[in-house]
Amino acid sequence: MSKKNLNVGIVGYGFMGRTHANAFRKVVNFFDLPYTPVLKAACGRDEEKLKAYCDRWGWESSETDWRKLIERKDIDIIDICTPNDSHAEIAIAAARAGKMVMCEKPLSMDGPQGEEMVREIEKAGVANMVWYNYRRVPAVTFAKQLIDEGRLGRIFHYRAKFLQDWTISAELPQGGAGLWRLDAAAAGSGVTGDLLAHCIDTALWLNGNMDSVSAMTETFIKQRTHSLTGQVQEVKIDDACAFLARFGNGSLATFESTRYARGHKALYTLEINGENASIAWDLHDLHRLQYFDHRDRGNLRGWRSIHVTDGDHPYMSKWWVPGLQIGYEHTFVHQVADFIEGVGSGQFASPTFRDALETQYVCDAVLDSAKTGQWRDVKHA
């Protein structure tokens, strides 16, 4: 019996437009799903680039206005891969039209806008998810299993950082294609909403709610030419952010992110220390989970480097044979698989819009704390 199709309409053909197209294409080859995603239509504003994208990735049709895409009766899912300032408008319109919505992270520009998105999506009752893809690195998912099994015991510390080095040059403009991340009007914030949002999402998932934060931020280069206006304009994003946090479970945490750490391209690392065991993970070595268990016999105690590639590790039975690695792009394949499973079962896969709003609240508290120099309580979704 042939499975029902779910027709996807994607908005944006940049970096994420490519990772998502790749995931929608590949997922059916590896996962048995209740529905088959179909690359039905792609939307972008530049017709020539859009055509090249559709031809390369196999999208059946195209639209140059996302509103037209949402109006189409043959589209079931709207997938949002545009800069942050457009997420809310597109997601709300899609929800009102009864479409399922997959939205890139961060959910919104800030908490209040995220609240509106959650209200609309829940009122529409449609399946929804935000692409915090690092939850679906098998080693990170495995860490979640170990924590949920209680292996670490009481958690004392959570530590995460996300370091890059691509904005150090003062000659780099802000705004426009690719550089919208440096323009607060398009991005909402700098490293806090871009990189730390990933660290925060993973942390909330692994370690529960955060209660309060104390942060500092810095904008190292105060003015940059804006690509769209040609004018030298004030830079309003945070180039670097470090914050302390207290979690609801009593653990203490440190988070750090910058785009000024020379030599680091995408160094996302996390470590959790519990009373019985600790775990550590590093995106540059993403298929390994470091695990230390104090209950091991004393003279054998030490950090284990677990190669998370075996059939009984999360997601890995779907891929090749034990010992063979998968990578970054597969996290998006896993996310599509879980989303479609959720549509089938009616239990929407996380993070939902509401889950992602929790991350937005942490980001708001972090930025407010940095501005005021005060500890800030975190609102809960």
Ligand X SMILES: NC(=O)c1ccc[n+]([C@@H]2O[C@H](COP(=O)([O-])OP(=O)(O)OC[C@H]3O[C@@H](n4cnc5c(N)ncnc54)[C@H](O)[C@@H]3O)[C@@H](O)[C@H]2O)c1
Which residue ranges make up the site for ligand X (CB under 6 A)? 11-17, 43-45, 66, 81-84, 86, 104-105, 131, 133, 177-178, 194
Cβ at position 193, least distance to ligand X in Å: 8
Nearer Cβ to ligand X (155/340): 340
State the Cα–Cα distance between residues 367 and 353, nearest whole angstrom. Answer: 21
Cβ at position 323, least distance to ligand X in Å: 26
Nearer Cβ to ligand X (164/278): 164
Cα of first residue to Cα of last residue in the chain, in angstroms, is 41
Cβ at position 240, least distance to ligand X in Å: 18
Nearer Cβ to ligand X (7/84): 84
Cβ at position 286, least distance to ligand X in Å: 13
Query: 276 near 151, Cβ under 8 Å?
Result: yes
For ligand X, which residue has the nearest CB?
14
Cβ at position 327, least distance to ligand X in Å: 13
Side by side, the strands of the sheet bearing 128-130 are 61-63, 35-43, 4-11, 77-80, 100-103, 128-130
Nearer Cβ to ligand X (24/131): 131
Cβ at position 278, least distance to ligand X in Å: 26
Nearer Cβ to ligand X (157/236): 236
State the Cα–Cα distance between residues 288 and 281, nearest whole angstrom. Answer: 7
Nearer Cβ to ligand X (18/307): 18
DSSP-derived secondary structure letter, 378: P
CA distances from 261 to 116, 164, 218, 237, 250 (A): 36, 6, 13, 17, 31
What are the strands, taking DSSP E only, across 136-204?
155-163
State the Cα–Cα distance between residues 13 and 21, nearest whole angstrom. Answer: 9
Nearest to 133 by CA among 344, 354, 381, 330: 330
